[in-house]
Amino acid sequence: MTITIDKVRSFDMTRLQKLIDEGDVDRLKLFMTEYGLTLVDGKIVPDKTHKHLWEESVKYWDKKQLVTKINLNSAYGSLLNAGSRFYDKRVGQSTTLSGRMIVRHMSAFINEFMTGQYDHTGEAIIYGDTDSHLGSTVIRTNKGNVAVEELFESCTEFWNNGDKEYANDSTLKVLSYDPMDNTLMYDSINYIYRHKVTKDLYEIEDELGNIVTVTEDHSVMVEREGILCEVKPMDIQENDILISVYDK
């Protein structure tokens, strides 16, 4: 049987899982042969002959999802850009609200699985985010204002997971927010991790000369026409009021 890249790209994981659940060994073997798969140490993996096709397929779908992500981000940016014909602040805000609700549900579900309580503020998930800081970003800590790269290097515990490097210091606390009392507080961290990215960087400067550098997909909280909303750095308008924490 000739196996092509198009064949590999059409791989149906649902069909494979169904065959595994049904325990139909003969049909499972035929399916694996059909897609150039083999069994190694109890795991179904590409065989040596067709491994390069699977690697090409992974690259293809990775690019495909990246293009989809960029299209979605562009559409979202248009919704919150007053110069776009698709501008509609309500839809843009509903998009971010939907995202927050999804993240809350995921956190609550994991908390329920780990502790039995469906609550996004539960004990298993402490915090969730996808944004990162530059190594030069200054963090307010119980040890003073320190660049995050310096904090990483000063930690007492280090480990790796793939291309990400992790560090922790049980005595380190950073400036946080207590939603119950609506006050600032210093709280412990789980870890600091660093990794390389190839995203464009934007410098945002306010009227006081304060500058913050963020990646292209980093959200910034602003007040626009009396409404609090989050925007990407390229969508910030001249009259937007940047939201930041002021610690007396």
Residue 248 lies in a domain: no
> Which of 91, 111, 128 finishes a domain?
128
Same domain flag for 166 and 186: yes
Read off the pLDDT of residues 129-149 as tens digits, 9 standing for 90 and up: 555 667 788 888 998 999 888
Q: What is the largest CA-CA distance in the chain?
A: 72
| Bridge partner list, 204 | 212
Burial of 96 (0-12, 13-18, 19+ CB in 10 A): middle
The reported pTM is: 0.46
User: What long-range pairs does 221-228 form, CB within 8 A, spacing at least 24?
Assistant: 224/89, 227/89
Same domain flag for 97 and 84: yes
* Backbone phi and psi for residue 164, each to the nearest 5 degrees, phi listed first: -100, 135
Residue 176 lies in a domain: yes
| pLDDT at residue 137 in the model | 80
Residue 126 pLDDT > 60, yes or no? Answer: no
**Boundaries of domain holding 214:** 201-242
Same domain flag for 11 and 61: yes
Average pLDDT of the residues of the chain: 84
Q: How far apart (Å, rounded) are the C-alpha atoms in residues 230 and 222?
A: 6
Residue 67 lies in a domain: yes
Same domain flag for 104 and 151: no
Residue 172: pLDDT band (50, 70, 90) is very high
Give the chain's domain count.
4
